[in-house]
Amino acid sequence: MFSKACEYGIRAAVYIALQSLDGRRVSVTEIAEEIDSPVAFTAKILQQLTRNNIVHSVKGPTGGFEIEREDMDTVNLSMIVKAIDGDKIYVGCGLGLKECNASKPCPLHDKFVDIRNDLSTMLKSTSLYELATGLEVGLTYLKR
């Protein structure tokens, strides 16, 4: 469904949000440890998230990654997925045709569009804040 990079990206963003709720800025090392991901690769992905204004980074000692409280409401999964995997998941044909639309559909077009709309709606309506608070309460996990 999502690329590995995107999976790590979402997990990282959720972890950063969780810590930011406590006013803590976190380093790549800590993030990678807490979400069980390769450090250097995670650093790359965080660069993308930073460039896309999904998380905020601060260099130097006491630096690290954080997310403003307001941004946790604004930023949803759809934005993270788009920043890392692009929009192929929303746009492409399920069977890989270059041109596939309502007027010249592939055999799976209609059914695929339904599923994808559901996915898209779900991603758009799921905010970082929602995911972070689930974690905070101990209902969900980012490791194992």
Partner DNA sequence: CTAATAAAGGACATTTTTGTCCTATTTATA
Partner DNA sequence: TATAAATAGGACAAAAATGTCCTTTATTAG
Considering the complex, state which of residue 4 and residue 51 has its C-beta at the smaller distance from its own copies: 4
And the tokens for 50? 């930073």
DSSP 28-66: HHHHHHHHT--HHHHHHHHHHHHHTTSSEEE-STT-EEE
Quick one: which of 23, 62, 98, 99 contacts DNA (CB under 7 A)? 62
Asked if residue 107 binds DNA (CB under 7 A), the reply is: no
Asked if residue 111 binds DNA (CB under 7 A), the reply is: no
Asked if residue 120 binds DNA (CB under 7 A), the reply is: no
Considering the complex, state which of residue 28 and residue 100 has its C-beta at the smaller distance from its own copies: 100
Q: Cα separation of 105 and 53, whole Å?
A: 36
Q: 24-83: which residues touch its own copies (CB under 8 A)? A: 77
DSSP assignment letter at 92: S
